[in-house]
Structure 1
Amino acid sequence: MNKLCTLGITFAAAAALTAGGTTPALASTPHAGGSGAAKSCPEETYYTVKSKKAVNYWVPGTNFVDGKGGEVTGKVDKSWTKSATLEAGAEASIGALWLTVKGHVSKSATKSNTVTVGHWYSHKIPKGKYGHLRYRVVGYKVLFWKMQETRKCKEKLLDAFYGNIPTEKEGWEYWSSKQP
């Protein structure tokens, strides 16, 4: 995002201000009109992350419950893919948006994560309780703002939308409860 702005003061006016001895008279500028110097910025569109929240994307078919007491064991042995998604109707440049994700959400963010490896996990369950296992891909729910910097150096909100962004992190989550 280029934040450089050009002030409409001519070089002659700046030189007159620095001349020694007398009170300088301001040279006329192309933007003369009594409102001061006009600003000019290149118009550009960019994306920013307004908020992000860590979430679990549960892998279907990997919810296991066992007990009372003993041990609960689960195995992941099927393929499942979690892909990055945007809300319907969100008009975004995927390339520009992906640079924003990598820079402001997580360096481990990925466009998709596929679970394909067989994996066993066991956990002891406290006496009198039920043990629960679920496999998940860790990710983020992200609120994006599509912004535009105008030629008058003002920021303008063009769109706001959510994206579901998986990371390369995945694994089992265990918890115990009194009810199955």
Structure 2
Amino acid sequence: MASAVEFVEEAAPEDTSLEQLPETSTNSESGTQACDNPRRTWYEITSKSGVHMPAKFSGTSFKDGPGGTMVVKVERAGKVLREVSAGGEVEVSGIVAKAKVSVSAKIGTEVGITVGHEYRRNVTSGKYGHLQYGSWGYNVKWAKYETSADRCGKKLVKSGTAKLPTSEVGWNYWETNS
């Protein structure tokens, strides 16, 4: 009996060698020392956490109760867009590219929401059920670095936060007393 062999194509490993350089302040030189690191600018994702990014248009957010059964459906099409901290908009392509490699390949700058996603849920007696449709994305903290003047360290150029959607969309459900 012949056995099937599966070949998995792997992405080339990302060069993160410059990320290991020590951080320097401003453009300080360290005497006559000079290193042979290349002059580069790069992004690092310094932290990440999962987040539900609700669609911010009508027909994607619902409340019902108290108790009973909720039956809801996305009634309008639209998009969930990325949110980047002030001053970071010009950095979006670099942040997203780095996040795709180091967080999830499903990350993008926007994700489309289509009509028709239906959901049924029993609501606990006496409680109100809330449903929001959106993208299961990530909150990330990012930093932009460049090689220091002596090329022996790295210098922080800019940093901030971003909420980045993924292609994974769905409902977020919770209950409240009112």
TM-score normalised per structure 2: 0.71
- Return the offset for 1:49: 0.6
Question: What residue ranges of structure 1 are gaps of 5+ in the alignment?
Answer: 5-34
**Counterpart for residue 68 of structure 2:** 70
Q: Point out where structure 2 has 5 or more consecutive residues left out of the alignment.
A: 1-14, 19-30
Which segment is superposed worse, 168-177 or 140-149? 168-177
CA offset at residue 157 of structure 1? 0.5
Kept after mapping to 2: 8 A contact 1:2/1:42: no
After the TM superposition, which parts of structure 1 deviate over 4 Å for at least 4 consecutive aligned residues? Answer: 1-4, 35-38
- Asked if 1 retains the 8 angstrom alpha-carbon contact of 2:52 and 2:172, the reply is no
Q: Aligned pairs, how many?
A: 148
1:1-25 deviation line (CA, Å, top 9, x unaligned): 5759xxxxxxxxxxxxxxxxxxxxx
Deviation of residue 130 (structure 1)?
2.3
Q: State the structure with bigger RCO (CA 8 A, min sep 6), 1 or 2.
A: 2
Superposed, 1:110-125 pairs within 5 Å as 110-125=108-123
Structure 1 residue 127: Cα displacement: 2.5
Identity fraction in percent? 31
The one-letter code matched in structure 2 to 1:173 is: N
Aligned: 1:170 with 2:169: yes
Q: Whole-Å Cα distance in 1 between the matches of residues 139 and 77 of structure 2?
A: 23
Deviation by residue 1:42-90 (Cα, 9 ceiling, x = unmatched): 2111110111222221123322222222211211021121223433323
Q: 2:54 is matched with which residue?
A: 58
TM-score normalised by L of structure 1: 0.70
